[in-house]
Amino acid sequence: MDIFQKCFEFTRAEETKAAGLYPFFHEITSRQHAEVMMYGRRTVMLGSNNYLGLTSDDRVIAAAQAALDTFGSGCSGSRYLNGTLSLHNEMERQLAEFFGKEAAVSFSTGFQTNLGILAGICSYHDNLYFDRMNHASLVDGARLSFGKTLKYRHNNMEELEELLARCPEDRGKMIVVDGVFSMEGDLADLPNIVRLARRYGARILVDDSHGAGVMGKTGRGCGEHFGLMDEIDLYMGTFSKSFASLGGFVAGETKVIEYLKHHSRPFIFSASMPPPNVGAVIEALRILQAEPERVARLNQNADYMRRELSRLGLPIGDSVAPIIPILTYFDERTFRVTRALLERGVYVNPVVSPAVPAGEAILRTSYTATHTQEQLDHALEQFEHVLLREFPISEEEVAAARAPAEHA
């Protein structure tokens, strides 16, 4: 059998393109901002993770250019050998200090960070306790490790406790969870996770990619939001969201970070973050500390949209973060709605099966500190027109859409 046979048989993308409904790989011809240029028209961007609006901030761009001028375009090697710059060490020192940990280490992408943490730490004698809604990078990191993965239903603390209670004493235990869940916009039940970790002697890894710079009064994430930052053993975040760059990091005890530096294959065998990316992170972190009002403004925008979307009667789930899913149920309806919104100057991310269960497709919308009232109100007008007038859905259709998921 030809190993490429599955590629030749994959026709879904071609079929969607032929129907004029393909919603992916849209080209942007401007800076990533609250409003972007797409297909020659100004478009309100509600699909970006640029939470603090810093990717187009002139100060961040200048810092990236300064790092480029001083250190060049790349590092030509891994951190383990020739690829560590003074800039990397300074960034990691500042990150550790900001998040209240002893040390931190950076990786070249966020996905790679989770691969590196889990594959670097977990062995044959370890158990990983996973929320079923965890990000794909955590799932793949667990697969790459030699640990045993045990999954519990989303935020179901009773099921998590049952799994922990059955763990033999001679096995290591780590609860692995997203801080903010990237599709749902809800939070991990960190208070109860901490309680169970204490009771059963487990460590805690929080992937706070969508919480860093977003949650908590000063943007220190879900740990700050719950007042439990000191209870998180490993705090992971990415730079492609609030920090206007690319890469990721993990912060924790010095001995654990040092172990990762010498045992994490994705860290050891990958080229280090390029200087401009590091310079951008350092400046974004400086701005976050100097301007905490950005965090407040971000969450005010998200609260406004939650309130107004609910007023329109649109189903938005249990979001509390600046990620608000709007249930569209059917995949084809989702594609049609996405296209119609784009034509009316609003970009959203369609999320369909198998990324979500059949009958539970969503528009993933996300908000930034730099969205204006005018932009948000424009988006609301388009949501009302497209979802409630152009492509309405009845209660009977909703029930039919959800039947496959409920049956599964």
Q: Locate tokens 């179901």: which residue? A: 156
> Rounded to whole angstroms, what are the CA distances from 65 to 58, 62, 70?
10, 5, 9
For residue 111, give the 3-state DSSP assignment: helix
d(CA 23, CA 302): 24
264 is a catalytic site residue? no
Q: Contact at 8 Å (CB) between 177 and 193?
A: yes
Question: Nearest CA to 157 among 131, 126, 134, 178?
Answer: 131
Residue in 106, 137, 145, 182 annotated catalytic:
182
d(CA 55, CA 64): 11
Question: Nearest CA to 329 among 380, 408, 383, 400?
Answer: 400
210 is a catalytic site residue? yes
Cis amide prior to 322 (ω within 30 degrees): no
> Rounded to whole angstroms, what are the CA distances from 166 to 141, 149, 160, 163, 170?
23, 13, 10, 5, 12
For residue 203, give the 3-state DSSP assignment: strand
182 is a catalytic site residue? yes
Q: Which two tokens stand for residue 130?
A: 């996973």
Instruction: Give the DSSP letter of residue 314.
Output: -
Residue in 135, 241, 245, 366 annotated catalytic:
241
Q: Which two tokens stand for residue 373?
A: 């009232």
Q: Which two tokens stand for residue 246?
A: 């690319």
Q: Which two tokens stand for residue 248?
A: 């990721």
d(CA 65, CA 49): 22
Residue in 210, 245, 270, 272 annotated catalytic:
210
User: Where in the sequence numbering do the catalytic residues fall?
Assistant: 182, 210, 241
